[in-house]
């Protein structure tokens, strides 16, 4: 299977629902789902995503960001309003990679403790 390498593809639940209803013959291309159809389909979509999660399939993407560390700096502000790195607030940090003059070292996620993150 070919992949684009893009991680910014975004589709709303309503778009997924409408496409699914069209594919299964529940709607024509030019029709709009009723409120009842949307409600039922959204519940079904949520159940499918939860079932995938139980099986270990993830419905979110991983994002890699880079941050230059400063020798005398003990903490960093990362997030939508971060002063050191502006990015979406991570749900979790799966690993950290440190590169020093061409040598790469991967750190286990257990070294990155969410408990030290600010709740801001």
Q: Which residue has the higher pLDDT, 65 or 38?
A: 38
pLDDT digits over 43-77, tens only?
A: 999 999 888 888 877 766 667 788 888 888 888 88
H-helix segments, the chain = 13-23, 35-54
How much is the pLDDT for 7?
Answer: 55
What contacts 116, CB < 8 A, 6 or more positions away?
Answer: none
Q: pTM for the full model?
A: 0.47
* Bridge pairing between strands 95-100 and 85-86: unpaired
């Amino acid at each position: 299977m070919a992949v684009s390498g893009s991680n910014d593809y975004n589709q709303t639940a309503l778009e997924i629902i409408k496409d699914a209803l069209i594919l299964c013959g529940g709607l024509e291309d030019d029709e709009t789902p009723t409120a009842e159809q949307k409600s039922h389909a959204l519940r079904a979509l949520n159940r499918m995503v939860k079932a995938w999660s139980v099986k270990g399939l993830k419905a979110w993407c991983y994002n890699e960001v880079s941050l230059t560390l400063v020798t005398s700096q003990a903490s960093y502000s990362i997030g939508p309003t971060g002063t050191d790195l502006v990015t979406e607030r991570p749900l979790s940090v799966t690993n950290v990679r440190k590169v020093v003059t061409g040598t790469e070292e991967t750190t286990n996620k257990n070294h990155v403790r969410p408990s030290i993150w600010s709740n801001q």
